[in-house]
Amino acid sequence: MRYLVVSLLTLTLSALTHAQDAVQALADRLGEHQRFTAEFQQYSLGDGTSREELSQGRMWIETPNRVRWETEQPFPQLIVGDGDNLWIYDPDLEQATRRSLSEELAFTPASVLGASRAELEARFIVSQIEAGGADNLFELRPKVAENAEFERLRMLFGPRSLSEILIEDGLGQRSLIMLKNVSFPAQIDTARFTFTPPPGTDLIEAQPVEAPAN
């Protein structure tokens, strides 16, 4: 019995160490992307290998918590993380939503790109998956599923940069984001990470989900 307990403790410690290594490895790769821009194409994945293009546009990332995700086609949409808030603006609807970046509710796939090791460790179960003989594929699962906007997220890195993001929601719907023309500029205009709702825009203040009383 004593040997069984020791074995279980050893396996537990090994699993914890592996998980911590995965978080650190992902944090290191994201650390290489503290400031970058890229073009993206987003697809909806069906059965098998079929896919349907949903949108395309451009993104700008600068840590900590500065994100600009600009969808150009087929419908314009703008997501901006200014360091304190996350804005989602739909010009066609004349509607903007503001969320606090300090809340779990605001943790979208776009904001994962600017996450620190502490944020990754606090919010996700991170695992590293061998793909094509390299450990460049990471999977993230939210620790608090009901407050997250996805159930599973996978990030694939190429030799120099992030190349693909796979997102799966609670209904099993999957989206694939493919990046190209990734660049690492010395600086990005700070205006990219600011947003002021245009006159006449309907502003929605997103509130955090309150925990039920005991």
Give per-residue pLDDT as tens, 122-143: 888 899 887 665 668 999 988 8
Structure tokens at 128: 């590293």
Mean pLDDT in residue range 149-174? 86
Q: So what's the pLDDT on residue 48?
A: 56
Print the SS3 string covering 13-68: HHHHHHHHHHHHHHHHHHHCCCEEEEEEEEEEECCCCCEEEEEEEEEEEECCCEEE
Residue with tokens 């969320």: 99
Structure tokens at 46: 């069906």
Query: Mean pLDDT of all residues in the chain?
Result: 78
CATH numeric code, 2-205: 2.50.20.10
Domain ranges for the chain = 2-205
By DSSP bridging, strand 95-100 and strand 202-205 are: parallel
Q: Is 156 helix (H, G, I), strand (E, B) or coil?
A: strand
pTM of the model: 0.74
Whether 185 has a pLDDT exceeding 90, the answer reads yes
Q: Which residues of 130-163 are buried (b: 16+ CB within 10 A; e: fewer)?
A: eeeeeebbbbbbbeeeeebbbebbbbbbeeebbb
Contact between 151 and 170 (Cβ < 8 Å): yes
Confidence of residue 86 (pLDDT cuts 50, 70, 90): confident
Q: What's the helix, strand, coil split of the chain in %, to 5?
A: 25, 45, 30
